[in-house]
Amino acid sequence: MATNKRDAGNGGETHQIAGDTVERLTTNQGIPVSDNQNQLKAGARGPVLLEDFVLREKIFHFDHERIPERIVHARGSAAHGYFEAYEDLSDITRADLFSEKGKRTPVFTRFSTVAGGAGSVDTPRDVRGFAVKFYTQQGNWDLVGNNIPVFFIQDAIKFPDLIHSVKMEADKGYPQAASAHDTFWDFVSLMPESTHMIMWAMSDRTIPRSLRTMQGFGIHTFRLVNAEGKSTFVKFHWKPKQGMASTCWDEAVKIAGADPDFQRRDLFEAIDRGDFPEWELGIQAFDEAFADSLPFDVLDPTKIIPEELLPVRPIGRMVLDRYPDNFFAETEQVAYCPANIVPGIDFTNDPLLQGRLFSYLDTQLKRLGSTNFHQLPINAAKCPVMNFQRDGHMQMAVPKGRANYEPNSLDQSDRDPEGGGPRECPAQGFTTFAGRDTANEQGDKLRIRPESFADHYSQARMFFRSLAAPEQAHLASALVFELSKLGLEHVRVRVMANLVNVDPVLAQRVADGLAMPLPKASPSAAPVQDMDPSPALRIIEGPLDLATIDGRAIGILIADGTDKAALDALTGAVKKAGGTPVIVAPKVGGAKLSDGSVQKADLQLQGGPSVLFDAVAILVSEEGCAVLLKEGAAVQFAMDAFGHCKAIGHSEAAKPLLDKAGVEPDDGVVPADKGFVGAAGKRYWDREPKVRMLA
């Protein structure tokens, strides 16, 4: 007699027949399917019969496979992993995941773009979401943030306006995944509080090289609360152990054309090869006295506390070591909510955070169709869940017992002799911090902004003046690019008037780039202060600008006649340094090397442009170079690598190709066998003025 069990992983059924185990296709009811190729018809050429339940179930399910995409953060990639605490933090929090050194907590982390739809590309100029779900022993904690520590607005009531403005224009239905259009800049130019975020959005932070090389932030001021009820203000920071890296704008545009899934693919391939992405979680912890000493309000989400003023304290690390088994079931169905916190973590009165606490939960019902979305495996807590919530659409649990209310005295058992099931737990349960955010928190309920939120330009000025010179040029050029896309001249003028308050030199550079006169500064609600620069805000020459190829991809262009010994030596050196060599050749089947052997290619030249790599080497013979000189893709390969300020290693015979591509000798253009691997860990920004006009 045949036995079977359902295999939930593949939707089939495993049958034991005469000692053999074979997978049998079944319906969703577990009924084996005999023919999955043909509909049931009345005769070979007759009509299809309505009784074909296999067809009806299959088409029915297919027709309903799509769920509403997220309004924002629709385009996302995610991975499983763990968080490991560096130390016992019980002095400042009773949160279980921070209770002992070395304690590991499972996590699921999703990265995303904000403005584009699910079908948009990975590399637009956009803020990136950085959301982490911690499956703790006290329940799920969702730290839902971005790769930028501030936001466009101070109050959640403006969030629909912000997103409506940056999404596709209502009459045209475009542009997709882009902020370079009238409605966005019209809105932010009328909202001076957005100025600081605009500095970040126009910087290289919004064109990250990969998901693995960007920071993450909790944005808001939260609280940590210990067992005695003492509260500590806290801001959360994620810092990539791989270092920070961004692209040039031209490079980001070309990557979008060469590989729209570039960052998603990079995350998958890094995990697949065992090069697990890792971030350090740090906190800025402070008390009310420190908060009161600052020249801005810590509840204002458009402000940061500079690291030079309050260093970030590392408290643990996150390692992502497993890609989802199924993109829809996990990455698409995961539901993050800032309101998901655990005992030992609490909120503040940040008005943007308070609005998010409502909005995210409301969104999940629309997207996932049921208040039971928390029972989906990716959202389910990994600790016991016990309550009397019942029924509802798509209830997947099967509660036992008569009582569905609390308190009750039914359902006695050896484990629960008094009956009644789960009860509230004052000693260990979550309790909201009873204190105030500030000593003077009192007064009538009003629709008003506090005066401490009125300074919109000082931190924007600090951010710009903290950047390295190349980053300042990139930011100014990004503003020129975006504002050049506008059809409304008065919006350009208003943006420039706001920029005068930020930095007159920046404003003048933008005005020159637009060939427009510089207007007077717009009125400011508070005096603009000159704050000390914060070098920690830099990507270039900043603390996370690591001169290494560890975890980076190095493209090696070869052709017929390439020296085998030189190729072996270079690939070996790249691997030893932690990099990944990627062989590119005119034909994917490979190239015939100097010893007669054939080296297969990882990518064909037309589909493997240099924008996909962090540095490149061109190892060709005179014969191979002569062939590549006639190939536009090869010339562009070298031209783009030089134009994007990357290191270029080369064989002596490659020089004619470099000359045709306009590659000039500098510290980043070196013989492949003489220091290339050491040079490949950085970009050569001094080269940039030679290859493009910058504002």
Please tell me whether residues 232 and 346 are part of one structural domain: yes
- Where does the pLDDT of residue 400 fall: very low under 50, low under 70, confident under 90, or very high at 90 and above? confident
The yes-or-no verdict on residue 225 having pLDDT over 50 is yes
CATH of the domain at 485: 1.20.1370.20
Specify the higher pLDDT residue, 299 or 361: 299
Q: Among 349, 358, 342, 347, which Cα is nearest to 430's?
A: 342
Does residue 416 lie in a domain region? no
CA–CA separation, 105 vs 134, rounded Å? 7
Please tell me whether residues 207 and 143 are part of one structural domain: yes
Domain boundary among 513, 537, 561: 537
The yes-or-no verdict on residue 420 having pLDDT over 80 is no
State residue 425's pLDDT score.
81
The yes-or-no verdict on residue 9 having pLDDT over 90 is no
Amino acid letter, 352: L
Please tell me whether residues 605 and 674 are part of one structural domain: yes
State residue 431's pLDDT score.
83
Is residue 250 within 8 Å of 374, Cβ to Cβ?
A: no
Amino acid letter, 653: A
Domain boundary among 511, 537, 563: 537
Q: Give the model confidence (pLDDT) of 30-82 as tens digits.
A: 999 999 999 999 999 989 898 999 999 999 889 999 999 999 999 999 999 99
Share of the chain above pLDDT 90, in %: 83
CATH of the domain at 199: 2.40.180.10
Please tell me whether residues 478 and 586 are part of one structural domain: no
The yes-or-no verdict on residue 694 having pLDDT over 80 is yes
Residues paired with residue 619 on neighbouring β-strands, in sequence order: 558
- Where does the pLDDT of residue 255 fall: very low under 50, low under 70, confident under 90, or very high at 90 and above? very high
Please tell me whether residues 470 and 528 are part of one structural domain: yes
Establish how many alpha carbons lie within 13 A of residue 28's alpha carbon, considering only the half-sphere containing its beta carbon: 9
The yes-or-no verdict on residue 10 having pLDDT over 80 is no
Please tell me whether residues 561 and 607 are part of one structural domain: yes
Does residue 631 lie in a domain region? yes
Amino acid letter, 465: R
Does residue 65 lie in a domain region? no
- Where does the pLDDT of residue 180 fall: very low under 50, low under 70, confident under 90, or very high at 90 and above? very high
State residue 11's pLDDT score.
46
Does residue 297 lie in a domain region? yes
Please tell me whether residues 287 and 349 are part of one structural domain: yes
Please tell me whether residues 148 and 228 are part of one structural domain: yes
- Where does the pLDDT of residue 320 fall: very low under 50, low under 70, confident under 90, or very high at 90 and above? very high
Domain boundary among 537, 571, 596: 537
The yes-or-no verdict on residue 441 having pLDDT over 90 is no
Q: Give the model confidence (pLDDT) of 645-658 as tens digits.
A: 999 999 999 999 99
**289 Cβ neighbours under 8 A, 6+ residues apart:** none
Span 426-443, average pLDDT: 77
Does residue 545 lie in a domain region? no
Helices (H), 259-377: 262-272, 288-293, 351-368
Q: How many domains does the chain fold into?
A: 4
Please tell me whether residues 497 and 638 are part of one structural domain: no
Please tell me whether residues 108 and 197 are part of one structural domain: yes
Question: SS3 sequence, 136-159?
Answer: EECEEEEEEEECCCCCCCCCHHHH
Specify the higher pLDDT residue, 302 or 15: 302
Span 178-186, average pLDDT: 97
The token duo for 183 is 């409605």
Please tell me whether residues 641 and 492 are part of one structural domain: no
Does residue 638 lie in a domain region? yes
Mean pLDDT estimate for the chain:
93
Span 413-429, average pLDDT: 75
CA dihedral of 74, 75, 81, 82, whole degrees rounded to 10: -50
Q: Give the model confidence (pLDDT) of 538-575 as tens digits.
A: 999 999 999 999 999 999 999 999 999 999 999 999 99
State residue 407's pLDDT score.
83
Q: Which secondary structure element, helix H or strand E, spans residue 217, and what is its range?
A: strand 216-217
Residues paired with residue 144 on neighbouring β-strands, in sequence order: 131
CATH of the domain at 575: 3.40.50.880
Span 607-617, average pLDDT: 97
pTM over the 0.85 mark? yes
The yes-or-no verdict on residue 190 having pLDDT over 90 is yes
Does residue 39 lie in a domain region? no
Q: Give the model confidence (pLDDT) of 463-517 as tens digits.
A: 999 999 999 999 999 999 999 999 999 999 999 999 999 999 999 999 999 999 9
Span 395-412, average pLDDT: 82
Span 420-424, average pLDDT: 77
> Which range marks the domain in which residue 367 is found?
76-375
- The CA distances from residue 135 to 106, 132, 143, 339, 425, in Å, are 5, 10, 11, 14, 20
Span 180-209, average pLDDT: 98
Does residue 57 lie in a domain region? no
Please tell me whether residues 362 and 219 are part of one structural domain: yes
State residue 15's pLDDT score.
47
Share of the chain above pLDDT 70, in %: 95
Q: Give the model confidence (pLDDT) of 284-298 as tens digits.
A: 999 999 999 999 999
Specify the higher pLDDT residue, 673 or 422: 673
Q: Among 202, 278, 259, which Cα is nearest to 546's?
A: 278
Q: Give the model confidence (pLDDT) of 344-394 as tens digits.
A: 999 999 999 999 998 998 899 889 999 999 999 999 999 988 888 888 888
Instruction: Catalogue the active-site residues.
Output: 73, 146
Length of the chain: 695
The token duo for 314 is 């590392």
